Amino acid sequence: MTVLKNLHQELSRFRLRLVAAALFVLFCFGLLLARLLFLQITQHDALLERAETNRVSVVPIVPNRGLIVDRNGVVLASNYSAYTLEITPSKVPDLEQTIDRLSAVIDIQQRDRRRFKRLMEESKNFESLPIRTKLTDAEVARFAAQRFRFPGVDIKARLFRSYPLGETGSHLLGYIGRINQAEKKAMDDWSEEDVANYRGTEYIGKLGLEQAYERELHGQTGFEEMETSAGGRAVRRLRNRPPTPGNTLHLSVDIKLQALVERLFGERRGALVAIDPRNGEVLAFVSKPSFDPNLFVDGIDADSWRDLNENIDKPLLNRALRGTYPPGSTFKPYMAMAALNTGKRSPSLVIQDNLNFSFGGRVFGSAEGDRAGPKDMRLAIVTSSNVYFYTLANEMGVDLIHDQLEPFGFGRKTEIDLQGEVSGLLPSTEWKRRAYKRPEQQKWFAGETISLGIGQGYNSFTMLQLATAVSTLSSGGERYRPRLVREIEDVVKHTERRTASDALSPLGLRPADVDVIRNAMHDVTLEGTSRAVFMGAPYASAGKTGTAQAIGLRAGQTYSSIKADERKRDHSLYIAFAPYQSPKIALALIVENAGYGSTSAAPIARRVFDYVLEGQYPSEDDIAKTQLGQTTAPIGQSRRAADVPLLPGMAASDPAGAASGVPPSAGAASGSAPGATSSAAPNMAPTATPTPRTAVPSRAPASAPPSPNRGASR
């Protein structure tokens, strides 16, 4: 039986299906169109950038780091390029096996492996890391012949920092090192522009001027845009912007003077800071012992680091900036100045010095060799009378001493253009309340004030602070913020920018009072404790010796009982300025555990003045004996400073030994100083008029002052 279909119904169903299919197709096309519009309009810029990134590789070009030169153009820090063997860990399937195979081609020591492992821990695994640096031409050729065997390994040319003079001025210059994780984290707070400028940079200043002037020395990073294939192979260069080299720092320091002072210290520990009181420029900034900053440039090895870090002499400690010491008798001129300024003493007031001062049941003594008798202010400074200043401290009190001496720079940072300066300690009752927790410790006792008068007790200052203070005193109260960098040179524009040696508000010292102190300090060199050192000097100077206790004495203990231990002996200090009438140089120095200031510290100051004011360089015999503390006035035939090489073994006409400091095996061009001159001129004091503008040493500041039963003097 035949079933008749309802054609009308079937046609309706077909039409419905056709409409549904058409709507589905239209919906799909709508989705495609919407996606196309989204990609072509909304996401156009992002996708174009991604496509360009896949096609174009932007490679940062690290700039040449700026040079550092002394006031006479002698290069102290420069650059040279050398080949390095580098591995990209992410591209190497078996790292240890690859390094083992590489060692058969190029010499790779265990220290190289240890350094590479440390770099891997600090870096991302896709970064290219050096396994060997400073390859010779022969090593480069050997690897190039077998390069196909080592995927992920390549030879690159890198810039290396060089310090041509080695240990000379190391604490002043500092060094550079690889950027660590802490420094990378600190960069998160930088502006985008600054972060971009450090792309590709792997080294940064760590200490000294390298750290303080990092932004000036770094320069501006350049870039290259390279078109690459799908496999990442460079096809052609699209465009580039060359890097801008870092600026050159012109220092106020005379490196030949710096090297001379470091030689005069010999194997002894100590520090010296010399300043031009007319403008605050630092002429010498010495800390002994020193270290070789070249050890850090390529990553210091474990053995060298252990030798430096565990050395009992602490060669990494910048004693001029961070070493704090009791000033001893070098503090007495400032105590006298405070007495005059406050009216506590007149210059003519006579105090009977019986060599002992009793207070609160304790006896405060004088140094061996002191003479009893009546003493006015001048004679008290000349003979370094302890009793005179014991009584003065007692009359003034700790807070008045603090308020009068702080303006000279004691107990606060000088704000020199270096980082890491410590403030030292000039005590007060308020300081003691803040420093101690227990109420019985917070109370200031009158007996603690007595030792302050002779620069002992809680007093603890850096040589930079002492040098700044004597500079202020020598100029009658004119003050300048000490500076190490005189000019910053833009090597591209060939322009120089003078750095401000900021003039601070002068102290309101009465000229008559200043003359009293200056005259007394001048008499110290004529009839006082440093007369033998400055005998026959062709110029007039002023100074004050100091001998400071390195440790406190226990009850019943005598100084002679501890002299056998060299590190427990007194420190030797000297402050001075010259010429007496119109000072061009003021200095402060300490020789640790060397005894009286007149026997160890003052002789170094004499030779510094001879160099600066007379252009005279001591004889080799004189240098050798000064290193042992066995000289007073210079011995032997002095030489013209201009005729003496910067360092022993150099020619006098080649002061830096080759300014670039390129190792013979580097086989690459080096940096050079624009306009570098030959030798340092002996009379380096500027002729222009002034322009306005914790680690611890062997004696660390103690929680309580040294015992006052033996007075430091001389």
Residues acting as catalytic residues? 329
Per-residue buried b or exposed e for 541-576, using 16+ beta carbons within 10 Å of the residue's own CB: bbbbbbbbbbbbbeeeeebeeeeeeeebbbbbbbbb
Contact 529, 597 (CB under 8 A): yes
Contact 286, 263 (CB under 8 A): no
Distance CA 135, CA 80 (A): 13
Distance CA 514, CA 503 (A): 20
Distance CA 646, CA 654 (A): 8
Listed in sequence order, the residues at least 6 apart from 129 whose beta carbon sits closer than 8 Å to its beta carbon are 86, 87, 88, 89, 116, 119, 120, 123
- Helices 332-342 and 511-527 meet at what angle, rounded to 10? 150
Which one, of 482, 422, 431, lies nearest residue 458 by Cα? 431
DSSP state, residue 662: -
3-state secondary structure of 562: coil
With 0-12 / 13-18 / 19 or more C-beta atoms within 10 angstroms meaning exposed / middle / buried, residue 431 is middle
Listed in sequence order, the residues at least 6 apart from 657 whose beta carbon sits closer than 8 Å to its beta carbon are 164, 165, 646, 647, 650
Which one, of 590, 521, 605, 603, lies nearest residue 549 by Cα? 590
How many CB atoms are closer than 10 A to CB 205? Answer: 23
Q: What are phi and psi of 264, to 5 degrees?
A: -65, -30
